[in-house]
Structure 1
């Protein structure tokens, strides 16, 4: 059994029994207790559980977290670094927008302690900040896209009228030299277009695997962003493109 499968099974057990035991999981999966503790560490970092002596208990609101996709788990460190880089761009007093997605969730996890106003149409991101001292959270209304925590539609757009955002952090499904930035649904593009109208600065946040990929709906060309935060593995042609077009590019090299 792969680590991803094992962790998803642990999550299923947590939802059912509300707690797990390290020894019992070790016996169930025929792996060492050290391996199980490592799995629990990762699940705690992702917000699924709280570790206790000898095991772990289900974290409040963890049911809203999706099962872990293998690609996302492999990229958790890359996304965590993007979150840290983004947090250094945010000043006390800023009003920021965080788009839906796991990368924006990592930004939220680095905001605790900052005095900011956070606007988001992602339920999971809002819940991550519910106990963050200093952060004022505005969760838009809207229609929930099935099997996600994304809010879209007319109510979302209405919430975004009449406010000003200093820095908008936008996650994408794909970034391509031909098609620009893309996301999963047309409804998401409508939200981003409204965010662009009310924001002083657009900052794209995308792990390196998003480049040379195409999603269903186009957000805009690669020049729609004032800044881009990604990883050091970004393909060279994109580094060249951003440099030649005066788009500021930030990668994990800044923190090595």
Structure 2
């Protein structure tokens, strides 16, 4: 087993049991306790856990932080409806990628009845999926982005090499005729570029507040994806553009 695979298995155990023991992990993975302690050091640096004597506990500070963000999100209901629609597009047996952010978090929360594999670099999404028995969750390694639950950097990119997903769901910061699809940081954009190479289909999930907005880093032109999930309130000129370009446009009109 590669080190990155072992780290993901340790994270899965943390999400389900809330704590892990060095000796037990050493026996489980057939490696030395020194190796396990190094793994725990890496996960602590990523913000996933807090080391204790003989083991480690899940850093559950991420959970209330996520709840606080949602309570302040005036578009949370729109994102929840997008999550319900997106889940309908996911078939049993598929592998999907969910990008960081509250919109894709809502997609994750609608996968209770699915039997799928989910790849994500968002710790909150990993936590949301921990009790879904039919979902195999793979959380990338990486550096924990500042004031975020997103994992970025070389370790995250490494895991994305050599795997493939049927569908990649991307949350964005902006949808704009000139700027295209954008996100909040260059590091996040680098992850998305890697995901685009391993995905058979790219699907944008963006609530209507993202339209005519620009984020910091460009992901691609509006031709990047052939499917877009959003709300009925998007500007009419965008509806016209996507219709003319043959983009499948799913809106939350049918759920309201």
**Paired residue secondary structure (2:86):** helix
Asked whether 1:174 is paired with 2:174, we answer yes
Scaled by the length of structure 2, what TM-score is found?
0.74
Q: d(CA) in 1 for partners of 2:138 and 2:113?
A: 17
Pair 76,135 (structure 1): closer, same or farther in 2 beyond 3 Å: same
Equivalent residue for 1:55?
A: none
The 5-angstrom pairing of residues 171-210 of structure 1 reads: 171-210=171-210
Gaps of 5+ in 2: 1-59
Contact 1:64–1:149 under 8 Å retained in 2: no
- Displacement of 1:113 in angstroms is 1.7
- Displacement of 1:62 in angstroms is 2.4
Asked whether 1:134 is paired with 2:118, we answer no
Q: d(CA) in 1 for partners of 2:135 and 2:65?
A: 21
**Paired residue secondary structure (1:175):** strand
Aligned structure 1 segments of 4 or more residues deviating by more than 3 angstroms:
none
RMSD: 1.6
Equivalent residue for 1:45?
A: none
Pair 92,69 (structure 1): closer, same or farther in 2 beyond 3 Å: closer
Gaps of 5+ in 1: 1-58
Contact 2:70–2:76 under 8 Å retained in 1: no
- Displacement of 1:231 in angstroms is 0.2
- Displacement of 1:64 in angstroms is 4.5
Q: d(CA) in 2 for partners of 1:177 and 1:61?
A: 35
- Higher RCO (CA < 8 A, seq sep 6+): 2
Equivalent residue for 2:165?
A: 165
Q: d(CA) in 2 for partners of 1:114 and 1:231?
A: 24
Q: d(CA) in 2 for partners of 1:127 and 1:140?
A: 13
Kindly provide the CA deviation profile for residues 187-242 of structure 1, in whole angstroms up to 9, marking residues without a partner as x. 11111111010000000000000000001110000110120000000111110110
- Displacement of 1:69 in angstroms is 6.6
Pair 136,64 (structure 1): closer, same or farther in 2 beyond 3 Å: farther
- Displacement of 1:133 in angstroms is 1.4
- Displacement of 1:60 in angstroms is 8.6
- Displacement of 1:255 in angstroms is 2.7
Contact 1:64–1:124 under 8 Å retained in 2: no
Asked whether 1:68 is paired with 2:69, we answer yes
Total equivalences in the alignment = 197
